[in-house]
Structure 1
Amino acid sequence: MNLDELKSDWQSMDKPSTFEVDSKQFKKMINYFEQIQQKTRKENIIMSILFVLSIAFLWAMYSFMNNASWWVWSGVSILSVEMVAAAVFAWYRNTGKKWKQLRRESQQYLSLAIRKLKYRKFLMLVIIPIYTLLLIVAINLIYIDVLSDLRLLWRWAIHCGVSVVLAGFVGFEIRRRYRREQQEITPLIDEFEAIKEGMD
């Protein structure tokens, strides 16, 4: 059963208070959550590979630049550090090895599942905007050197244009993804919390 089918199944279930943790509905919810985790893990692997390649490219580019200024070094350094930090934050969305040792029907399992799902919103609404801000700063630092031969007006136009385009694109993506999270993740969090409360 694929992710869309699981999503359709658990969204058509009874209310959380009407079924037990050993029911088929609960197992489908857990399966849906675990497929989200698997999908996230694949995304993280691809992202990590792209980040490694990007960092290698940036420093290779820097090494080939003749008399690269402090501005370029600072920009490349910020980009490298924030990519590593972003990868760490992104991987935290996934469950660790200890996760597999927990019973799926346990409160601890549900607590960890709820925490991981809620963290996705924190990543989207806090970490990604900070990452974007640092990205804009880093690119503009590099451009200070790269665009130094242009007239001041053109330099300001390029700095502002790049900043606005990046901020607008990321803002659009955050809004789009947040709406999807509200439809898919928030109901799952609510149901897990209701089940957990029923265990108390």
Structure 2
Amino acid sequence: MSPSVPTEPLPRGRHRLSRETVVSSQRTRLLRGMAEAVAERGYVHTSVAQVLRRAHVSRETFYEHFSGKEDCFLAAYDAGVVSLQRGMRAEYESTADIDPVERFRHALGAYLEALADDPAFARTCLVEIYAVGPEALGRRDALRGGFVDLIATALGARDEDRFACEALVAAVSALVTERVAAGRADELPALRDPLVDVARRMVPRR
């Protein structure tokens, strides 16, 4: 979720790492530990202790970063979403001079590849978030709205085409979530071309 920060346990005893590096490493390992534990056991059956074992940090350190399990989960979700959106936007912005449907193809491909490369986050983001509570679902809904905006912009859709973009995002979400829930995240990249074809049919091109 943050490749520039070490995710391996830090060396024991004295070291020359800065306090900022230590704190960033602890937080990153806790976020990764949460995503992996939830992906394996489900949110309801994941305990803070199980996250600590994966992250190799103390309980005291955990509560220096988070108020509890839900707070850590939401932070892991947010960090993953930021990384996901950054990748999609980079693909979108790097293809400014090509056909709108091809821009959509690039952004969608980045999304599907990122989820396929990180099945633990994919399950956390798409499946287990339903078990967390109203705040988590509110964030999911906000994320979906952001994807609708991005796709509408990528396809050059007008205001009257927004419902078609919403339907397209719902279709993408349903198809992706189904495969992730079944443990078939590796199949996600193969959805790109069929979904691009659907986009071409659903959203009128100007």
- Normalising by structure 1, report the TM-score: 0.32
Pick the structure with more helix per residue: 1
Pair member with larger Rg: 1
Q: What TM-score does the superposition give when structure 2 sets the normalisation length?
A: 0.31
Highest relative contact order (Cα 8 Å, sep 6+), 1 or 2?
A: 1
